[in-house]
Structure 1
């Protein structure tokens, strides 16, 4: 696991200010007319609470997924704890994930499965490309692992940084999202019209 000095990854004061302003702007501008009605409509204050709650839940989810992404990139809990302002143990306790899943098929007739672990975000796409040629495709993933399932055809895999509209564009091109979009990546797959290499 790598250890990067938090001082080299910390945000500047300008970046912190810009992020805070962007979140506040999103909360005030997304509910239609909220900003304009805050001064004279008591119900607007309640809409502001609801919008802020949604923003807090979303930023909490993004933080959990960003920590998982950093772990998948090979970063240690002590480095993450320092960035989060907590101890290594507190970071691991709050953001640690359960152990990798059991690769055994759940239902009768389910194809063979394997867990690829440990696998970091730096190497995973090359590994998935090689496995895809051999007929394996991703069915689940998490911090430092991918679960792949055997098939008779080749597959290609794509990792897409989160952007608005990426899912619609990729699905129009025949890609399937492996599971709910995660931050900062979404993992997609699509079968190729080629037999699996053995």
Structure 2
């Protein structure tokens, strides 16, 4: 390529496989066979560096999708480009900015997304949110859509297959479904302090 910049696809075709190029960067321009020189603890270094590269590329992908959405690219087109369905792309890459009140650049005061959370920390985060009057109404991958009221809420997570009738008789209601979990919520009736 002389003098002019070709498209990203042309660059990848001319320079070789992107995965191989990233692999060489991770290994700091290592040998032709990157696994031949790795022994013992070097494998852990490779895992650590690959995780860092994954984190950086994930952030770049999220920024790219957000920019494309800001320029009017539909979820269907993005999903096709990413090998996902429209809904899959929206669930994976949707951002808080898309939940904003149109034209204001701000989120609605009574709704927000909680996340990222995992199965290990989400109940603690939901408990904290519940104390402030928030309860889950939708659960997606690594996040919950929350709605705020003037009262405190309790949250429970149970397996979908488990019978929930005992919970529902105690004032619990289904806040969200995200297989294999049901997220149950219960209004305590106690006012949120300072509200």
The normalised TM-score by structure 2 is 0.46
